[in-house]
Structure 1
């Protein structure tokens, strides 16, 4: 072999080795412009930084958690997606929106790590005088349409016997802050990781009260009890007791153990740095592991065993 050929062969081998060292992952998140899409972007950057570029993440827009789950049927080993653990259980059981749409791939879904929960916020103007959910009677509330927060807010209004006493504003949630500021509504309901951007905006532009639920009310909703710490929003001098729907990142058994391990390890090791950029990551703690009802990926389990993080018995 000539010297030129040796150099060329060596260069090709180096290129091949470099290409094979990078692991590509697709992260299916939420609608662009949403807080969860932004989380996906932040997570992608953190994973790249935390692995020195060995893991490259492409964030894909999604129409929601159900779509994320349905795509499991056609995706490969590089697919990571977000959804509430409860939806995974429905998919695996062929129930509710997954009735008649079951697939063997659903049984191969495995959990990696929790991400910020969908946390309910009942945001009222200070002028409304509302101190608790019972004070919604006689008020005009904006719920929005089609989102988890809108559906959950409507459920709570009915659950607590307020359906006949609350006027629901016919407007999109994107108009909530202006409508509240201008007095066209008394309050709005939104769900998202805290601090929620639209609640931050509302609290900065007009005096608001984010309502707490009683422990009995939380129990009636059958959701996870969540505390938004005092000081999260302007003018909030006490903890807010509310509810949330846990959300997590998942892969399938097609993903190799080493990749699942690196994704999980890097997420937890980069979490503090991510929280310095966006405070919603501070809400992710090892305690959220208990909300994940899906089996964990073996690669993720390896990390949790090393880190001494408890994993639910299921």
Structure 2
């Protein structure tokens, strides 16, 4: 009888210990602080960089859990974060400039300039080039050949769409909906539609080589189209566009996408810098830890991930027109960088 009781007590003790350990383990899992990160759709450069940032941080710092949302458009992401409805978003210098002044897409949002003061930069990175790609056998050699074609210029309501349509208008005089069809799709749906040959020209602002376009170029000959330098230099609309914060003329060189890229001359287009940004009230230590985890580990990954070579410390402040978060500032100062003062 005594042995049975002792055995029962021992079993109960073991069960209690196991329960305590399980509870502690569950508590540790639950203790991971969750952060929401909004970016552009799959296939875009911001999606690639910001998903990579989230995955790197989540792996290196298990106390944090960044969840990526790749729906919606950049202006809404900025507004949501400024109101505390998210923790991270893709910062575009042009969008932030409009938000600070209450212009452009923020014209009807009276509190936009005040809300802009809630935002802080973590670091900048090259969004890449506006790459306009078509299948070589479709006989589209320039923007003037877009007459009557189906073109993906960017998601509805986004800055990318406005930029590409301005480029086409400047080079050709063509208007969307009149001279060509500017299809209304998100990035992921558009890339699939292009692969299915349901779109004639696919524009995407992304690093070169883009994984999405590289996949297409593996089995198809492709041609890239852009704007000639004479038009860039002489067209008032393009000059105004190039005065937008974060914008500059860039070249896509022949051979970037291998033997199936049929271009023999450089293609001139617009390049953009963007960044990861957050709310000013996010904890300094948290942002410091995340920034350090990302940049301390990125060099070792570049050999196996070619597009990461576009990211380097020389560009972390490029075109930054938003104050830097104190946590990110502390990290960059620790490694010897001079952080520019932005008001």
Superposed pair shares fold, TM > 0.5 = yes
The whole-number CA distance in structure 2 between the counterparts of 1:54 and 1:148 is: 35
The whole-number CA distance in structure 1 between the counterparts of 2:79 and 2:115 is: 9
- Contact kept, 8 Å, 1:143 with 1:149, in 2: the verdict is no
- Residue 290 of structure 1: aligned partner: 318
Following superposition, the deviation at residue 41 of structure 1 comes to: 3.2
Alignment pair present for 1:122 and 2:132 = yes
The whole-number CA distance in structure 1 between the counterparts of 2:196 and 2:30 is: 51
Which structure has the larger Rg over C-alpha atoms? 2
Structure 2 residue ranges without an equivalent (≥5): 1-12, 234-238
- Residue 283 of structure 2: aligned partner: 256
- Residue 232 of structure 1: aligned partner: 256
Alignment pair present for 1:54 and 2:63 = yes
- Contact kept, 8 Å, 1:150 with 1:190, in 2: the verdict is no
SS in 1 for 2:99: helix
The whole-number CA distance in structure 1 between the counterparts of 2:291 and 2:269 is: 28
Following superposition, the deviation at residue 206 of structure 1 comes to: 2.6
- Contact kept, 8 Å, 2:82 with 2:118, in 1: the verdict is no
Following superposition, the deviation at residue 305 of structure 1 comes to: 1.4
The whole-number CA distance in structure 1 between the counterparts of 2:225 and 2:338 is: 32
Q: Higher mean Cα deviation, 260-269 or 226-235?
A: 226-235
Q: Higher mean Cα deviation, 232-241 or 78-87?
A: 232-241
SS in 1 for 2:100: helix
* TM-score normalised by L of structure 1: 0.76
Change in 2 beyond 3 A, CA 1:272/1:130: farther
Q: C-alpha deviations, 1:188-235, integer Å up to 9, x for none?
A: 433334333442244233322223544454553413233445543133
SS in 2 for 1:160: helix
Following superposition, the deviation at residue 63 of structure 1 comes to: 0.5
Following superposition, the deviation at residue 28 of structure 1 comes to: 1.9
- Residue 157 of structure 1: aligned partner: 168
Q: Higher mean Cα deviation, 31-40 or 61-70?
A: 31-40
- Residue 28 of structure 1: aligned partner: 38
Following superposition, the deviation at residue 117 of structure 1 comes to: 0.4
SS in 2 for 1:143: strand
Change in 2 beyond 3 A, CA 1:300/1:233: same
> What is the count of residue pairs matched by the alignment?
299
CA RMSD of aligned residues (A): 3.8
